[in-house]
Amino acid sequence: MLLTRLYASALVLAASALIAPASAQTPGAPALVDAIVAVVGTEPITAFELNQRVQVVARQNGVAVTEQLRSQVLDALVNERAQAQAAEAEGISVTQADVDQAEQTIAAQNQLDVAGLHKQIEKEGLTVNGFRRQLLDQLLVQRVREREVSRRVNVTPADIDQFLQAQAQPGPMSLQVAHMLVTTPEAASEAVVAQAKATAQGLQARAKAGEDFAALARQYSQSGDAAQGGDLGLRVQADVPPLFVQAVANVAAGEVGELVRSGAGWHVVKLLKRERAQPVMTVVQTRARHILLRAEGDAQQRQAVTQLEAVRQRLVAGTADFAQVATQISQDGSAPAGGDLGWARPGMFVPEFEAAMDRLDINGISPPVVTRFGVHLIQVLERARAALTPEEQKTAVTNVLREQKSKEVLTTWARDVRARAYVEIREPQAE
């Protein structure tokens, strides 16, 4: 869905100049025309705003709208608003021009003009004003997070040396598991516990029989991660709940493990992946080629997309040769070489190009990809793992350690912000 990409895009926009306080120019703040479900600081979150976000999340994840989902989304809205307020308190600001620029960037990434973006937003259940308010909050949060990381994260030469020494040893085991939870009250009777166990066993049997685990979790799990299909993500084994490690100890990836009980209830656990951490002494490099049509303005961009879509159909059908077409029409310096860009390592291309390239299989051809340089067709020719030079190793390790420390800093910061914020949750209103 478009909005999935919109939110991701908003969080990676480059920081622009800070001119005026966000509180003085808050584009698209929701009108107070309905019931208030929460207050964060002095700002309300309305039932209308909550319902809009709930509908989008439910549609993106293919789940029903439940009180549990509403509660999860409300908690996320509260955190987002509290962090945006913390950013303002730190003197960080976002102007209406910043939000305009964010909209334009998102529109270009989705091959739309701003008017088309607004139509798509409304089609997918949001108001334009509500979307712009979310962009403003996300830009504020992004900037305050960048400030917190720059203040608190420092990678020293000793950190790098220690990491490189550790990489000489086998890496830690990592697991990716998903689970379904059937809850039991704290003082539940034996009969209630037995009934919950029977329900969990039924779900376990259905999952083992081949039903889609994520779909079952979305429909039946009573855990807060049900909307994500119960997927806990890839984690170092030490960070996975011990009960879950125990449950999948004797199964292979893709299999459902033993039923386990925690203080919350009964869990059905599936092992999605088991792997050891890869050393950072090597990196995957990609050899790709592309066809570039430069485009200035929406009209030229749409024309380039249409032209390259037609070219792609011919390439996929085998009626045209990529290198020959690149030589004939590509407006890049690589055209004489058939569009060949040579071997490239992560970070050498702009993010939109690299993300599209990384999704391709060998010999796969992308749909038209819009970047600030124009519109591209990309084909991956080869991939290989290459050894890093000593200097590249230090850079790679610095990035890994900085990311690790950043996650720790931001987790602590987000928890502290929520603890300091004034938050009043009011009785949920019926839709």
Map out the domains of the chain as residue ranges.
2-152, 173-276, 282-387
Q: What token pair was written down for 90?
A: 């730190």
Task: Give the model's pLDDT for residue 198.
Answer: 95
Low-confidence stretches of the chain (pLDDT beneath 70): 1-33, 111, 125, 168-170, 277-280, 427-431
The pLDDT value given to residue 228 = 87
In this prediction, residue 64 carries a pLDDT of 87
The CATH code belonging to domain 2-152 is 1.10.4030.10
In 3D space, the residue among 181, 172, 171 whose CA is nearest the CA of residue 239 turns out to be: 172
Distance between CA atoms of residues 5 and 208, nearest Å: 33
The span from the CA of 428 to the CA of 45, in Å, is 11
Rounded CA-CA distance 292/51 in Å is: 42
Top-tier CATH class for 173-276:
alpha beta
For residue 209, CA distances in Å to 179, 190, 204, 215, 271 come to 16, 28, 9, 14, 15
How many Å apart are CA 263 and CA 277, to the nearest integer?
Answer: 31
User: Residue 1 has what pLDDT?
Assistant: 35
103: number of Cβ within 10 Å? 21
pLDDT at 107: 81
Handedness of CA 360, 364, 367, 370 (dihedral sign): positive
Shared fold status for 173-276 and 282-387? yes
Report the alpha-carbon distance of residue 13 to residue 6 in Å, rounded: 11
For the chain, percent helix, then strand, then coil, each to nearest 5? 50, 20, 30
pLDDT value at residue 131 = 87
CATH class of 282-387: alpha beta
Q: What is the pLDDT of residue 57?
A: 85
